[in-house]
Amino acid sequence: MADKLKVLKNANVTQADSLDALSIPIVTTDTERLAIKDVQLEITSLVAGDNGFYKYPSTLQVDGVKQGSAVNLSGTNTPSTPMLLTGSQIVGPNSVVTLEIEAETSLTEYGDVQILYVKGTDAFPTVGTFTMGSTSPAVTGKLTLLDGALASPKPASTSDQGYSGCCFTSNEIKKYAYTNGQFLIILDENGATLVSHNWGVTCYAMGVDDTYCYGKTSSTQTYLKRFNHVTMALETDLTISASYSYGQSNKGWVDVYDGYFYYRPNGSSTTVHKINLTSGTATTTTMGSLAQSEFLGGVINTNVNGCNLLVMHQDQSIQVYDIDNQTEASNSSNFPTNPTTTSGNNVISLAAGIIWVSNASYNSSMIIDTNSITPTDSSPSSFTQTLTTSTISLGGNTSDVFVGGKHQSVLPKARKMNYRALVSGVEVT
């Protein structure tokens, strides 16, 4: 009698995220003998952003015995690499056949270094990206991170003037956004212009959350402008309960953090305005005591230990403010020449705990590293400064575009477990 083809397993399964081992039952034989011919197993929910994380080592097993070496269902450059086995695996009576995905250790996703800057006398800005994946920036090294982002520059054909902005990812697309006052400009990772949106009012301050680009008007209008960077469409304004101007010169800093839009209108004042991005309610607070007329800016950044820190640079001093503990620490700046008043925000986030500062007036820069600070420290004082003047020749105009990414969380990377299994064989007679 001819062998009879059997489909032993054909299933698409939605499975909860898990680091644990997963056993997928295929068949349990009784008195029959089988020859397994084709095996396919794939994690179906993986996307490009999952590259380089979990490997999903998997094996075909008979009675708990591996039938060959483990096959990884995800690779460094390809999110999904299915197990594809062909041949003739004989299975005797009273045997249990399974597909086994091994357990893996939790990994952290550190995201990307994303920068947008003007070098030398260029008329246009340049974008750069370096993917960190699961490797901690504290391990990679601060200069390696910066060099990686600068290694493959992509020039953009747009305005080189910018006062604030943010780099981020939405819809799996890396985006680079900044405001030049009149326009919100969003670029892709190749420097191509995705949108050039006229705010309709002057906005020197902007920030980004998971959905919107927000523009703070230069005067006291009681609204924030909003542009949806997911749909790439204009959104209605957010009405706010109070407003203060944010000018183009000697401003403090601007950022979006934990559901609030923060802005410090003036470098010589410690007052920070805080706008609830759901209700529009505006309040004031004080975040750090650093205040001086020659102020380079500030940025909110979460280091590898989970410390949420505001890092600021004024004329002669650097201050780190621990947002959760409400403590602060200051050190003198290592810049050989004190900065002068800037038109843009020149303190940007490179990675968890890594801050890049541009002293544009004197074409020098430094990296501030906060990754030695822990949540139990009485003071966030253990930060370091490293001058990077030889790394890149930045533009000398204080309104040149200088924008970094958003690194405000250090979270475990989920291991997705949705799978498709297809196994066929023949009954041996």
Q: What share of the chain is helix, strand, coil (3-state, %, to 5)?
A: 5, 50, 45
Q: What integer pLDDT is reported at residue 120 of this predicted model?
A: 87
**Strands, E, within 139-294: which ranges?**
154-155, 164-170, 173-179, 181-188, 193-208, 212-217, 223-228, 233-239, 253-257, 260-264, 271-276, 282-286
Domain match, 123 and 223 both: yes
pLDDT tops 90 at residue 77: no
- Check pLDDT > 80 for residue 385: yes
Residues 101 and 124 occupy one common structural domain? no
Q: Residue 1 pLDDT more than 60?
A: no
Task: Pick the range with the lowest mean pLDDT from 255-269, 333-347, 374-388.
Answer: 333-347
CATH (domain of 22) = 2.60.120
pLDDT over 80 (residue 383): yes
Residue 220, helix vs strand vs coil: coil
Q: Identify the pLDDT of residue 4.
A: 75
pLDDT, residue 291, reads: 87
pLDDT at 185: 98
Cα 309 from Cα 295, distance rounded (Å): 18
Residue type, 346: N
Mean pLDDT computed over every residue of the chain: 93
| H/E stretch holding 142 | helix 142-150
The alpha-carbon radius of gyration of the chain (Å, integer) is: 27
Q: Say if CB 115 and CB 127 are below 8 A apart.
A: yes
Task: Yes or no: say if 320 and 328 are a contact pair by the CB < 8 Å rule.
Answer: yes
Whether residue 398 sits in one domain with residue 280: yes
pLDDT given at position 236: 98
pLDDT band at 390 (very low <50, low <70, confident <90, very high): low
pLDDT for 144 equals: 93
pLDDT greater than 80 at residue 36: yes
The three-point CA angle 422-428-429 to 5° equals 150
Tell me, what CATH number does 311's domain have?
A: 2.120.10.80
Q: Answer yes or no: do 175 and 27 share one domain.
A: no
Cβ pair 22, 100 in contact under 8 A:
yes
pLDDT at 389 over 80: no
Number of domains in the chain: 2
CA dist., res. 119 & res. 393, Å (int): 6
Higher-pLDDT residue of 171, 330 = 330
Q: Are residues 172 and 261 in the same domain?
A: yes
Given this model, what pLDDT does residue 42 score?
A: 97
398 torsion bin: left (phi>0), alpha (psi -120 to 50), beta (else): alpha
pLDDT tens digits, 149-168:
999 899 999 999 999 999 99
Do 247 and 308 reside in the same domain of the chain? yes
Q: Taking 80 as the threshold, does the pLDDT of residue 375 lie above it?
A: yes
Q: What is the pLDDT confidence band of residue 48, given thresholds at 50, 70 and 90?
A: confident
Position with higher pLDDT, 368 vs 152: 368
**Given this model, what pLDDT does residue 360 score?**
83
Would you say how long the chain is, in residues?
429
Instruction: Quote the CA–CA distance of 342 and 165 in Å, as a whole number.
Output: 15
Q: Which helix (H) or strand (E) holds 147?
A: helix 142-150
229 closest CA partner among 283, 291, 175, 279: 175
Please check whether residues 25 and 172 belong to one and the same domain. no
pLDDT recorded at residue 261: 98
Residues 296, 284 share a domain: yes
Are the C-beta atoms of 216 and 201 separated by less than 8 Å? no
Give the structural domain span for 51.
4-107+414-428
User: Which DSSP letter does residue 331 get?
Assistant: E
Ramachandran angles phi, psi of 110, nearest 5°:
-100, -5
Task: Tell me: do 226 and 300 sit in the same domain.
Answer: yes
Measured distance CA(112)–CA(102) in Å, rounded: 28
Q: Calculate ∠ Cα 266-269-271, nearest 5°.
A: 95
What does the pLDDT read at residue 418?
Answer: 97
pTM of the predicted protein model: 0.88
- Summarised one tens digit per residue, pLDDT across range 271-309 is 999 999 999 999 999 999 998 878 899 999 999 999 999
Q: Token digits for 37?
A: 């011919």
pLDDT tens, residue by residue, 186-230: 999 999 999 999 999 999 999 999 999 999 999 999 999 999 999
Angle at 146 between CA 162 and CA 149, to 5 degrees: 70
pLDDT value at position 270?
Answer: 93
> Does one domain contain both 99 and 142?
no
234 and 312 in a common domain: yes
- Inter-CA distances, 13 with 10, 17, 29, 60, Å: 10, 12, 23, 18
How high is the pLDDT of residue 16?
A: 97
Same domain, 184 and 316: yes
Compute CA 209 distance to the chain's CA centroid, rounded to the nearest angstrom.
Answer: 12
**pLDDT (tens digit, 9 = 90+) per residue, 49-68?**
888 899 999 999 999 999 99
Using CA atoms, how far apart are residues 227 and 219, in angstroms rounded to an integer?
19
Rounded distance between C-alpha atoms, residue 80 and residue 136, angstroms: 24
| Three-class secondary structure assignment of 48-116 | HHHCCCCCCEEEEEECCEECCCCEECCCCCCCCCCEEEEEEEEECCCCEEEEEECCCCCEECCCEEEEE
The pLDDT of residue 340 is 79
Residue 147 pLDDT class (50, 70, 90 cuts): very high
